[in-house]
Structure 1
């Protein structure tokens, strides 16, 4: 009997280890050939390309510019992280176009105009453009900042379907889609945090959607907020609605062994309530909540909180709860001692790790200390996991830093600050008023290497073992695009990060802070000679 029990325990442990490995390495099946088919890199959100063997710690120093693809001057951010499948690269531009180009030459294969689909109340809002893409089923899926979600033919760019997921006039998508078993999953956020004093604030409530990948039909929707109610007026006389917000800025991930979807939410725009600053674990089939963890007690913030006369419009100024402490980062799934954990970075500077099945807190690590800038100091878009360490970067943290963490304990293995001379040399030295030592993008990794760009305009590759900078390229310079358009680099783009696939490094440039230029932003591709 004792031996039988021992065998049963051993078999159960093997099954558990197999399932946790499948949730990470099985998720990598889509990138086993070296592709990078989605924002997350794989369904588990590792942002790690284990199949990359050309760019290594020994060869990375020889990376050279392969081609530049330039956008027309628009004044908007470049925010669409490329997806790479075979010899095709898919991405959106700040010019409201979506492109497919040849990975070898940068030559355009097809392009699609977002404006060709319907109308939107967001047409006049800056930073219009596509999210990162997910490529599956012969289709390219992405959202945009008009509130639409699209499916294009992967080979021709022909529109297969487009659906408007937003009935709110300021709703949009910053969340990039995840494809899983015939469904598309993504979140919805909004520009309502940027409204003025005369606006009846606020009525947006975030949501997470599951769409049929073949048709775009809504399968289920999970709201993060109850319907906002009128509760009086603001000092301007505009109607006051509460609670509101909890937009979903980041992208989802999934544990394939349990069918559990994980995604984080943002702050309240007004009032206090709903599932703000919350990590959700949802049943991917039904959208039912398996567990949720709210990581901040109170967080009501909108742009008016940044102004001295915002007191009447930002109640949190008095009690110090105007924090802007979103879970804007995409989660990461990683196994530790036979159990799956799910981690997520917060704009407070804390990286949280939970038991993926129960939601129990396993550890937390503070990587930066909030300043008067609030959430601008913390972890923005996402971290990376390479099977050994977690890598997370902080933004306006004086300076921003890149950190390697032990996934079992959260212990900091190494920390590398944004180089102190980043704003005094290279192209950034011309713009001392704009330059800041900060890390906006999500972190990316490949065997032995970590990739993170800076607002000082420099793309850097670090040693995964020590954190030493092994390669650097200053993007604040003029380029001639292979598409015949003159371009210029700038801050390395947020809303995504570097992409590494088939021996090529792809970097979007042109984000906050915007450097003065008469030229548009650029997508850069680097490879080994």
Structure 2
């Protein structure tokens, strides 16, 4: 994308220049009367006015077909270019809006921190500006049309066959662009910046084409009883119809982007009549611990959002962030002050979705998302962030899942590279479970090491759970789970539990090109229990949508967050449902359970919209919940989803107990594109 925009801009500029030169030559060949009917800036002296060039500036949507016509049929294009002068206002507005949309998209994607803070550059504001430009263009078009009609009344005649075909061709080209965008990026992308503006231009051209066809079919209505057509017809110009369509589309966008985007609140439990008589209670207000960097005497927020879970290292929290897909960081933050104590700022570091693992004074962390290749695993000092290994462990794929450290070795997933085992002190490779389409393995989920066995799962090619010998890497068993595995398994009391499903973290169904034929057809999910020794499936609880986050457990239940917006509690022995509690429109982070003396007292979960819930572990009843986090703005966008699992720290008090709950997300300055790293802190107590 970084290379595409400048190249596209250069081609567009050449096309615009060619259009201008051809149009100039054609204009010079026309008679003064013809020039007056197409160019109101033409003066009595026969010299074109200063606005002539604006009449041949097409929108980027039109550059492709116009360039083809110009190359193959220069004579036809010359006449078409002159006709385009009658559409000067629409073309200028379309060019301005589409170009600004591309620039805005590039900034939001790659340099969002360049956008000024505040709501002036938020989605609603940008939509308002584009609508205002279209409205101004409508007024301009109306004034021009009246002047043209006064100079040459025949301009009010119904459009001829050439104009209708040109409009129909441009409309078909715009429709083709919209369909291709939908096929490659989904239909929702056609209504998001930047393609939204191109979609609106296509709708405007469609409206103008239909209006032109209507004028042509009903042209006899202009004639009097004797069949004579008047010199001036009462009509709207097609340009005004197109601009009016842009205004209506823009106005609807402003209303939608300005409307509240809050999702549903908790919908209760399966039974709905349980009452809480004992449990934690929220104390105080939630606190946002923003991550700050200190540059001299300047206190500056860290741009981006928290992508990973939080790793606890004493009074410090270590986590991964992303400012854009190509710009990631690993931060170590003091959880009391929000001060960044150190940061891994490798210039080539991609978004850090991987949850860091702290072990023996070291931090192990990977980088990259599914589309990234050639990513690495880092090992740095937990106290300073200084690299411990001579160089990061290089892979041919990405390293999304949290590493597991055991027995002096570190085990980590690497997508199409499968699973690696390396020495924890030096990073020297020990063994590898090879992945890729040939082996039918793609591992993104964090592994778990227990009793000399490594448990992993595959999310592409084959959807299997695999157990490996931790020392040699030899396969112990492999079980087909039937659905993708993108969440970390959980091992407890001789069993291993997997959350599975279709799609991925952001979609219920998804087609991965590397798999070939589409695999996902309908949304589905499940929680599965396998025997840790044999891999035999003991029970499975089907769910309507996927579970691609980790699981939590206590002595009685397994807890799962599902994309259907519910937290499920399942009997760990039988897999039967204990309860389910709705917390929002989707759950994109794992729940956490707190226990006192081995007895569960609370389950904590956060919705993708940023609502924090404390649930009774026995009934699922909502003990307390809190929304409206300070400075947080979900804005109805998946890229703002909370993906961080709550981190619970329990302490004993003189009268009972206290829990401090952290989870990472972001804060905004009204503009949801300008995000700053933040960790939110809650506290609840029992017995005070």
User: Contact 2:589–2:606 at 8 Å: present in 1 too?
Assistant: yes
Partner of 2:261: none
Find the partner of 1:129 among 352, 364, 375: 352
Correspondence 1:102 to 2:351: no
- Aligned ranges for residues 285-324 of structure 1 at < 5 Å? 285-296=471-482
CA distance in 1 between partners of 2:677 and 2:638 (Å): 6
Q: Deviations over 1:161-190 (max 9, x none)?
A: 26555553xx2111011111111111112x
Alignment correspondent of 1:24: none
Query: Per the alignment, do residues 73 and 94 of structure 1 end up closer, same or farther by CA in structure 2, a change over 3 Å counting?
Result: farther
2:412 alignment counterpart: 186
RMSD: 3.1
Match in the other structure for 1:497: 645
Residue in 2 aligned with 1:249? 444
Inter-partner Cα distance in structure 2 for 1:506 and 1:413: 26
Structure 1 residue 349: deviation in Å?
Answer: 1.2
Contact 1:329 1:382 in 2 (8 A): yes
Q: SS of the counterpart of 1:520? A: strand
Q: 1:341 aligns with which of 495, 502, 508?
A: 495
User: Are residues 114 and 493 of structure 1, via their aligned partners in 2, closer, same or farther at CA, if it must alter by over 3 Å?
Assistant: farther
Task: Identify the residue that residue 523 of structure 1 maps to in structure 2.
Answer: 679
Query: Given the superposition, is the C-alpha separation of residues 137 and 469 from structure 1 closer, same or farther in structure 2, using an over 3 Å criterion?
Result: same
Whether the 8 Å CA contact 1:89–1:102 is kept in 2: the answer is yes
Q: 1:509 aligns with which of 660, 665, 674?
A: 665
Report the Cα distance in structure 1 between the residues aligned to 2:476 and 2:376, rounded to whole angstroms.
Answer: 28
1:62 and 2:283 matched:
yes
**Are 2:561 and 1:393 equivalent residues in the alignment?**
yes
Residue matched to 1:472? 625
SS at match of 1:472: strand
* Greater Cα shift, 79-88 or 94-103: 94-103
| CA displacement at 1:438 relative to structure 2 | 0.5
Shift of 1:490: 8.8
Q: Distance in 2 between matches of 1:107 and 1:60?
A: 29
Partner secondary structure for residue 114 of structure 1 = coil
Deviation at 1:462, TM superposition (A): 1.1
Q: Distance in 2 between matches of 1:515 and 1:131?
A: 27
CA contact (8 A) 1:455 1:490 kept: no
- Alignment partners' CA distance in 2, 1:392 and 1:378: 10
After superposition, residues 30-429 of structure 1 pair within 5 angstroms as: 58-62=279-283, 64-70=285-291, 78-95=306-323, 96-115=328-347, 119=348, 128-129=351-352, 131-145=354-368, 147-161=375-389, 163-168=391-396, 171-189=397-415, 205-225=416-436, 227=438, 246-256=441-451, 259-268=452-461, 276-296=462-482, 325-335=483-493, 340-347=494-501, 348-368=524-544, 377-395=545-563, 397=564, 400-418=565-583
How far, CA to CA, are the matches of 2:316 and 2:278 in structure 1? 26
**Separation in 1, partners of 2:638, 2:542:** 32
**Structure 1 partner of 2:118:** none
Structure 2: segments with no counterpart, 5+ residues? 1-276, 293-299, 369-373, 502-523, 596-600, 651-658
| Separation in structure 1 between the aligned mates of residue 671 and residue 484 of structure 2, nearest angstrom | 26
Deviation at residue 525 of structure 1 after TM alignment: 2.3
Change (3 A) 1:99 1:247: same
Tell me the matched-pair count.
Answer: 353
Mark the CA change 1:479 to 1:226 in structure 2 (over 3 Å): closer, same or farther: closer
How far 1:504 sits from its partner (Å)?
2.1
Q: Deviation digits for residues 110-130 of structure 1, max 9, x if unmatched?
A: 222132xxx57xx5xxxx125
The counterpart of 2:613, out of the listed 460, 465, 469, is: 460
Q: Cα offset for 1:367? A: 2.1
Residues 133 and 208 (structure 1 numbering): CA distance in 2 closer, same or farther, change over 3 Å? same
Separation (CA, whole Å) in 2 of partners of 1:359 and 1:515: 49
The answer as to whether partners of 1:392 and 1:402 remain within 8 angstroms in 2 is yes
Q: Whole-Å Cα distance in 2 between the matches of residues 130 and 490 of structure 1?
A: 13
Measure, in 2, the Cα distance between the counterparts of 1:73 and 1:248: 34
Find the structure with the greater CA-based Rg: 2
Quick one: structure 1 residues 247 and 475, their matched pair in 2 at CA, closer, same or farther if it must change by over 3 Å? farther
Question: Structure 1 residues 132, 90: CA separation in 2 closer, same or farther (over 3 Å shift)?
Answer: same
* CA gap 1:506/1:492 in 2 versus in 1, 3 angstroms: farther
Alignment CA distance shift 1:248-1:402 (3 Å):
same
Greater CA drift, 259-268 or 66-75? 66-75
| 8 A contact 1:148–1:172 mirrored in 2 | yes
**Alpha-carbon spacing, 1:464–1:63, altered in 2? closer, same or farther (3 Å):** farther
SS of corresponding position for 1:478: coil
CA pair 180-469 structure 1, distance change in 2 beyond 3 A: same
Q: Which has the higher contact order (CA 8 A, sep 6+)?
A: 1
Deviation at 1:515, TM superposition (A): 8.7
Preserved CA contact (<8 Å) 2:321 2:352: yes
- TM-score (norm. length: structure 1): 0.61
The Cα of 1:78 is off from its aligned counterpart by 2.6
Q: CA deviation at 1:217?
A: 1.1
Q: CA deviation at 1:75?
A: 9.1
Question: What is the DSSP-based 3-state SS (H/G/I as helix, E as strand, rest coil) of the residue aligned with 2:672?
Answer: coil
CA 1:64–1:84 in structure 2 vs 1: closer, same or farther (change >3 Å)? farther
Q: CA distance change for structure 1 residues 278 and 489 in 2, over 3 Å: closer, same or farther?
A: closer
Query: 1:490–1:509: 8 Å Cα contact kept in structure 2?
Result: no
Instruction: Work out the CA distance in 2 between the residues paired with 1:172 and 1:156.
Output: 25
SS at match of 2:446: coil
**Distance (whole Å) between structure 1 residues aligned to residue 615 and residue 590 of structure 2:** 14
Aligned counterpart, 1:313: none
Which blocks of at least 5 consecutive residues in structure 1 are unaligned? 1-55, 190-204, 228-242, 269-275, 297-324, 369-376, 420-436, 481-487
SS at match of 2:675: coil
Contact 1:222–1:287 under 8 Å retained in 2: yes
- Whether the 8 Å contact between 2:583 and 2:613 is mirrored in structure 1 is no
